[in-house]
Structure 1
């Protein structure tokens, strides 16, 4: 069973990721701000165009901004329509089981209640005739 507590392995992975993030950031800043003539003089001749130093962060920001509406739309596409029988019961439904209840004051175990039983409890009240 895994736990979120710190372990030496997690500490090492975290430290390596921390260092890698800083190295990648330094390489990015050097590529973005140092002129190509200086990079060629040092021997670093193959780099992508400087355009991508600005374009990639802009694209990533827009991807981040558009991710929420895209996820929202995906959830709506995956949701069953209101007349689908899967909204009432599906393969994960659990019928109420009263066998484990010893006393009427015990809390029943977690279960799904059928829609007909819900309607019966909510809307079908015993009608008492009025006396005239």
Structure 2
């Protein structure tokens, strides 16, 4: 069995087709339940028990509400909990940080992270060493 490949192979193709057909059949059954009147279902097909039509509307609305709640509240809250504080060293440097390397005169500077001290000097200090806007 090939690992970690998006290429189709026999089991994946069969499962995909079965999922496609099954989901379409469930959707068709849902539409019949939601649209066709109960008395017609009972007289023509002999189906005596169906859940209330209320649930045909309520379940999708609840699902969309739960999805929106997750997308706009819970997921951002989880991301905020995982983000380090502003005064944490991990905000400035991590294991993927690139240190400044030696520069060749007249050459293209190598790719590296700019130290926070250099950024602060450039943004907030004048050439004479005093604070800007002070």
Match of 1:89 among 88, 93, 106: 93
Where do 1:19-98 residues align within 5 Å? 19-34=21-36, 35=38, 38-39=41-42, 42=45, 44=47, 47-70=50-73, 71-98=75-102
Offset, 1:97 = 3.2
Secondary structure at the counterpart of residue 96 of structure 1: coil
RMSD value, Cα: 3.8
Shift of residue 24, structure 1, vs aligned partner? 1.9
Residue in 2 that maps onto 1:130 = none
1:62-121, Cα deviation, whole Å (9 max, x unpaired): 2233333213333333332222222111233222334xx767422512x32221233345
Structure 2 CA distance, aligned partners of 1:107 and 1:63? 50
Unaligned runs of 5+ in 1: 128-132
The DSSP-based 3-state class of the residue aligned with 2:25 is helix
**Normalised by the size of structure 1, how large is the TM-score?**
0.60
The residue that corresponds to 1:105 in the other structure is: 107
**How has the CA–CA distance of structure 1 residues 95 and 13 changed in structure 2, closer, same or farther, with 3 Å as cutoff?**
farther
How far has the Cα of 1:52 moved from its partner? 1.7
Count of residue pairs the alignment pairs up:
122
Structure 2 residues without counterparts, runs of 5 or longer: 129-134
Give the SS at the match of 1:82: coil
TM-superposed deviation, 1:29? 1.0
